Amino acid sequence: MEFGVALPTCTEGMAYPIRFADHTGILRVAVELEELGFDSALVNDHYSTMPYVREMFDQPPRFYEPMVTLAYVAARTSRLKLMTGVIVMPMREPVVLAKQAACLDQISGGRLILGVGVGAYRAEFESVRPMMIEAPRGELVTEGIESLQRLFTDRRASYRGKYFAFDDVEMFPKPLQDPLPILSCGNAPGTIQRAATLCAGWMPAGLPVERMAAGVEQLHQLAVEAGRDPSSLLVAPQTVLCIDRSPDAAAERFRHSQVYEHLSSLRNSTLKNIDIEAYMSQNLIGDPEEIIRRITVLERAGANHLAGLIVVANTEPEMLDQIRFFAREVLPAFRTAAV
pLDDT 10s digits, 43-59: 999 999 988 889 889 99
Count of CB atoms within 10 A of residue 191's CB? Answer: 24
Burial of 313 (0-12, 13-18, 19+ CB in 10 A): buried
pLDDT on residue 310: 95
pTM of the predicted structure, to 2 decimals: 0.94
- What is the extent of the structural domain holding 318? 2-338
> How many domains, the chain?
1
What ranges in 154-208 are assigned the alpha helix state H?
Answer: 189-197
pLDDT 10s digits, 194-253: 999 999 999 999 899 999 999 999 999 999 999 999 999 999 999 999 999 999 999 999
pLDDT 10s digits, 272-283: 666 777 878 889
pLDDT 10s digits, 4-61: 999 999 999 989 999 999 999 999 999 999 999 999 999 999 999 988 889 889 999 9
pLDDT 10s digits, 155-180: 999 999 999 999 999 999 999 999 99
Dist CA 290 CA 310 (whole Å): 17
pLDDT on residue 120: 86
pLDDT on residue 280: 87
User: Which amino acid type is present at position 303?
Assistant: A
Residue 229 belongs to domain with CATH number? 3.20.20.30
Q: How confident is the model at residue 338 (pLDDT cuts 50, 70, 90)?
A: very low
pLDDT on residue 266: 64
pLDDT on residue 337: 46
Dist CA 282 CA 298 (whole Å): 10
Would you say 73 and 8 are in contact if contact means Cβ atoms under 8 Å apart? no
Dihedral of the CA atoms 322, 311, 234, 89 (nearest 10)?
Answer: -150
